[in-house]
């Protein structure tokens, strides 16, 4: 049986709205493909080895947990950036998405540092959130993704980033430019909770195939 090494970044701290369900769906689809996932949580004070993993999952959390993570993840900045730049397959949801960028502003107006592995930043809305069902379309893949968004952040994409999809219904990254999520190399980001991959198994399959292809290329 084929195997993939999976890193669950801060899996003991970040699981807002059941985001860990993305890993359950990855496991389910992987078994159907004859692939076994070896999943390891990398959390506070742990080292991240950019050459060890085939797939990384990074979920979201409340402001308190994300503040703790934002401080710790600075020690993993170089290694995570190396992994992403080398085409490592990554899925980042909500807070994880924000922390891969330069910074985000929390609901209290504090600037929380990300690692700048991706060139986006996130502002905060005043006493408002984007909440509701959302539909986006990725024209490049010819795929439509459905889900649920619930976020205060307004994220603006930067150099080298493409949106995960164009908003057909809902608000997306910022409610202004019709983008939702981000794709940079093999890193996929989204604000979809629910979780994302349960409602969009075609994307789960895309991540698994990408991870397998990269592993074969490395070997």
Mark the binding-site residues for substrate, compressed into ranges: 129
8 DSSP assignment: E
Cα–Cα dist 178/123, whole Å: 16
Catalytic residue chosen out of the listed positions 7, 94, 120, 189? 94
Q: Residues 8, 102, 120, 193: which is the catalytic one? A: 193
Could you tell me which residues come within 8 angstroms of residue 56 by beta carbon, excluding any fewer than 6 positions away? Answer: 6, 7, 9, 80, 83, 88, 89, 90, 91
| Among 82, 95, 122, CA closest to 192 | 95
The tokens for 202 are 């075609």
Reply yes or no on whether 189 is catalytic: no
3-state helix, strand and coil shares in percent for the chain, rounded to the nearest 5: 30, 35, 35
Nearest 5°: phi and psi at 152? Answer: -85, -25
- Is 36 noted as a catalytic residue in this protein? no
Which residues are known binding-site members?
129
Residues annotated as part of the active site: 94, 193
């Amino acid at each position: 049986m084929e195997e993939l090494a999976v890193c669950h970044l801060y899996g003991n701290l970040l699981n807002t709205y059941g985001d860990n369900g993305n890993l359950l769906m990855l496991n389910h689809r992987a078994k159907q493909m004859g692939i076994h996932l070896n999943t390891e949580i990398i959390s506070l004070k742990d080292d991240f080895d950019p050459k060890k993993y085939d797939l990384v999952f990074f979920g979201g959390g409340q402001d308190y947990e994300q503040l703790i993570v934002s401080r710790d993840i600075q020690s993993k900045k170089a290694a995570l950036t190396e992994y992403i730049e080398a085409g490592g397959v990554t899925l980042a949801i909500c807070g994880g998405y924000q922390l891969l960028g330069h910074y985000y502003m929390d609901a209290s107006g504090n600037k929380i540092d990300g690692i700048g592995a991706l060139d986006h930043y996130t502002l905060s809305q005043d006493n408002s959130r984007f909440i509701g069902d959302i539909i986006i379309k990725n024209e490049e893949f010819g795929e439509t993704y459905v889900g649920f968004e619930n976020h205060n952040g307004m994220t603006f994409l930067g150099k080298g980033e493409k949106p995960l999809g164009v908003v057909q219904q809902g608000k997306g990254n910022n409610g202004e430019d019709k983008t939702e999520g981000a794709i940079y190399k093999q890193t996929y980001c989204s604000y979809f909770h629910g979780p994302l991959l349960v409602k969009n198994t075609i994307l789960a399959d895309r991540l698994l195939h990408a991870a397998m292809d990269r592993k074969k290329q490395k070997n």
